[in-house]
Amino acid sequence: MALQTLSQKSQPRAEHDLGLLRDMIRIRRFEEKCAELYSASKIRGFLHLYIGEEAVAVGAMGALGPDDNLVATYREHGHALIRGVPATSILAEMYGKQEGCSRGRGGSMHIFDAAHRFYGGNAIVGGGLPIAVGLALADKLQGRSQVTACFFGEGAVAEGEFHECMNLAALWKLPVLFCCENNLYAMGTALKRSESETDLCLKASSYEIPAWPVDGMDVTACEEAAKRAALAVRAGDGPCFLEFRTYRFRAHSMFDPQLYREKQEIEEWKKRDPIELYQNRLREQGTLSDADLKGIEDESAAEVAKAVEFAEAGTWEPIEDLTRFVYSDKTNP
Amino acid sequence: MNASAKTARMTYREAMRQAIREALQRDPRVFLMGEDVGRYGGCYAVSKGLLEEFGPERIRDTPLSESAFVGAGIGAAMGGMRPIVEIMTVNFSLLALDQIMNNAATILHMSGGQFNIPLVIRMATGAGRQVGAQHSHSLEGWYAHIPGLKILAPAVIEDARWMLWTALEDPDPVLIFEHQTLYNMEGELPAGSGPVDIEKAIVRRPGTDVSLISYGGSLHKVVQAAEQLAPMGINAEVVDLRVLRPLDNATIIESVTRTHRALIVDEGWRSGSISAEVSARIMEGAFYELDVPVGRVCTAEVPIPYAKHLEDAALPQVPVIVETVRALMGSNG
Ligand SMILES: Cc1ncc(C[n+]2csc(CCOP(=O)(O)OP(=O)(O)O)c2C)c(N)n1
């Protein structure tokens, strides 16, 4: 169905499709640069890359409007970027500069941006789920029709908070779009070694939440599923659950020697690289030309270069401001 | 306090209920959420009758999911509501500690001042009702350790009635600890009373010879002790901390500077307790004013036992306070 529409290459449709590709490439290039900057000690702390999973954030974000809320995890650069948080302020945050979106107090794992309703950046597995439930409750109580999208890894389903939140969101029919990014590993713990029941949709269904598995390497599949789910959520029927089946090509964090999985497995998944898959499809359909691709790559490179320049030029928050933002005060920006 | 002003007589419980009712009437963003706050009427009957008056949207019964509903309170606060979250007793708050400490207390700072959490969490605390160790904890001192939170311990009717107002006006998370044994306490609410400061300690009984520093449930034992000391020629001042974070240094130091002796009475365990903090602050701020070392009466370092005689022996009691003061006064006592 969707493929037919694509092949007709109506102008806005082509633009839209190229946009999806562009966004995936933007995340990929941004994070490749992050890895480089990490090796150069420009970025410190924990750095969790999203490389391989780009189709999920890009696809899902297509279902959200500017008034919708977003709650993410520590692997959230891609979500922030696609949500509209400028690459400059994300990278400056990773540098720890006061021009960063969290004024250098958050770092890679704690991207926040009020203007884009980006509610973090949470480093506790499962920690963002109750916040999403609460944001949705606030919307419902105030009669707004926003959706709160909540991203989390499959590792979170083992936490009590996941079950508490599934129950609460379903019980109160709250507008939450639960986006589980199942990349098969929680650090080194494979799903099948940590869960007695590995069918995640079944878990959500047991709370009376409609749940669908999605091919997380296929950006259009991600987008369509998210749009369908968001529509149901917006209609007031309560939460939906999507299990995006994806894979991270890189280590869990920059410290991880990946002893827990075979190289061959990674290579197999890389054959389904969401960017290459989609690029090839667009080419076959005649939507993407070499010039288009070069344009996208140049644009992404420029965006990354600008972010690096911005972060490098950033300044340090004065030490005198150390204890600002512990409590609210009138000098808050 | 104006002696001629008309006063109203009520229980601590009723004062709390009036405070919540008024908050619900005053601000449509306020709602009460917790286990059994609705149909059951609150496990200490604080919210009895409110469900009938305000309906289940605003008097919201929750499942037994401390982490989820406390976190949902955080999210709802971020989403523009003014939730009052009730946790039955402080022991259960440990299941929500992640949300309280890792989210409520940190998000303002981690987000560089972008997201404040105007949330109030109420919970019962303390021992003295023979309910065994797991229901008798006094952990407010622990919570007072955490920057980003404000910690209140209303000990008198007026504070029970009016602290909530101020707490709800506050842009940051405020935790209110209500001592279990106080709910049935009756007292006078001065007619002219209104919102109370949540930054200041208060002198409940002026005196000249020794500063008895306490808060919450222990305050009443301290007042009794002061009354018993008077005929012995010891004029004790009673300082009610009532705010455990931020601690009001000035009032403590000022009192000790006048009386030259200090005894801290705290239902928390001695090691690492709020009494240790107050003692250290006196040492830092009024060491040369002291005639004798600072004294402490705290709970014995045991989980609170069930048997009455053992429970009594574990907790600070009036005779021990009196004896300790006499010893502090030396031969003059
Ligand atoms: C409550 C909690 N326990 C442990 C950790 C340490 N930890 C960080 S990431 C991670 C794995 C989580 O995996 P998953 O939820 O699948 O997300 P992914 O990293 O795969 O995106 C763990 C165990 C944590 N951050 N929080």
Find the range with the poorest average confidence among A3-7, B75-79, B291-295: A3-7
pLDDT (mean) for A325-330? 88
- Atom index in ligand 1 nearest the CA of residue A126 equals 1
CB B203 within 8 A of CB B224: no
Burial of A2 (0-12, 13-18, 19+ CB in 10 A): exposed
Residue type, A243: E
> What does the pLDDT read at residue B333?
40
Query: Bridge-partner residues for A69, per DSSP?
Result: A148
Distance, in Å, from the CA atom of B109 to the CA atom of A328, rounded to the nearest integer, reads 9
**Which residue numbers of B are catalytic?**
66, 135
**How far, CA to CA in Å, does A99 sit from each of A111, A310, A311?**
12, 9, 8
Task: Please write the tens of the pLDDT for every residue from A65-80.
Answer: 999 999 999 999 999 9
Q: In which element (H, E) is residue A231 found?
A: helix A219-232
Q: What is the pLDDT of residues A190-230, one digit of tens each?
A: 999 999 999 999 999 999 999 999 999 999 999 999 999 99
For A92-104, the three-class secondary structure string (H helix, E strand, C coil) is: HHHHCCCCCCCCC
**A36-73 per-residue burial string, b: 16 or more CB within 10 A, e: under 16:** ebbeeebbeeebbbbbbbbbbbbbbbbbbeeebbbbbb
Q: Is B62 on the interface with A (CB under 8 A)?
A: yes
Q: Does residue B332 have a pLDDT over 90?
A: no
Closest in A130, A171, A324 to B71, CB measured: A130
CB contact at 8 A, B154 and B179: no
Candidates A179, A119, A110, A112; CA nearest to A150 is A179
Least Cα separation, residue B150 to chain A (angstroms): 9
> Would you say residue A256 has pLDDT above 70?
yes
As a whole number, mean pLDDT of residues A306-316 equals 98
Instruction: Write the residue in A171, A328, A333 that is nearest to B171 by C-beta.
Output: A328
Alpha-carbon span B288 to B40, nearest angstrom: 54
Structure tokens at A238: 């309560």
Amino acid identity of residue A86, one-letter, is: P
Say which DSSP state A113 is in. B
Q: What is the pLDDT of residue A254?
A: 87
Q: Does A131 touch chain B (CB under 8 A)?
A: yes
Characterize B166-175 residue by residue with b for buried, 16 or more Cβ atoms within 10 angstroms of its Cβ, and e for exposed: bbbebebbbb
Strands B186-190 vs B59-61: parallel, antiparallel or unpaired: unpaired
Pocket of ligand 1 (CB under 6 A): A 75, 123-126, 153-156, 181, 183, 185-187, 252
Over the range A105-134, which residues count as b (16 or more CB within 10 Å of their CB) and which as e? bbbbbbbbbeebbbbbbbbbbbbbbbbbbb
Place B331 in a pLDDT band, splitting at 50, 70 and 90.
Answer: very low
Distance from residue A156's CA to the centre of ligand 1 (Å): 7
Which pLDDT belongs to residue B5? 60
Cα(B166)–Cα(B162) distance, integer angstroms: 7
**How far B147 CA lies from chain A's nearest CA (Å)?**
7
Give the ipTM: 0.90
Element (H, E) at A198: none
pLDDT band at A330 (very low <50, low <70, confident <90, very high): low
Element (H, E) at A322: none
Percent of chain A with pLDDT over 70: 96
Q: What are phi and psi of A126, to 5 degrees?
A: 90, -15
Cross-chain CB nearest to A328 (options B81, B103, B116): B116
Q: Is B305 on the interface with A (CB under 8 A)?
A: no
What does the DSSP 8-state code read for residue B287? G
pLDDT recorded at residue B7: 87
What is the residue whose two structure tokens read 């149901």?
A: A232
Instruction: Decide if B320 contacts B293 (C-beta within 8 A).
Output: no
Tokens of A273: 């690289």
In the reported structure, the alpha carbon of residue B312 is separated from the centroid of ligand 1 by a whole-number distance in angstroms of 45
Mutate to test the pocket of ligand 1, among A187, A243, A249, A269 (most ligand atoms within 8 A of CB): A187
Q: What is the mean pLDDT of residues A136-152?
A: 97
Place of tokens 């083992």: A158
**DSSP string computed for A299-321:** HHHHHHHHHHHHHHH--PPPGGG
Strand, helix or coil at A183?
coil
| Angle at which helices A54-61 and A11-39 cross, to 10° | 140
- First-to-last alpha carbon distance for chain B, in angstroms, is 31
Chain B contact for A105, CB < 8 A? yes
For B6-18, the pLDDT digits (tens) are 789 999 999 999 9
Strands A189-190 and A185-186: antiparallel
Report DSSP state, residue B37. Answer: S
Contacts of A65 (CB under 8 A, 6+ apart): none
pTM (predicted TM-score):
0.93
pLDDT at A10: 63
pLDDT single digits (tens) B87-100: 999 999 999 999 99
Phi/psi for B124 (5° steps) reads -85, 145
Examine the pLDDT at A9 and tell me if it is beyond 70: no
> ω before B246 within 30° of 0 (cis)?
yes
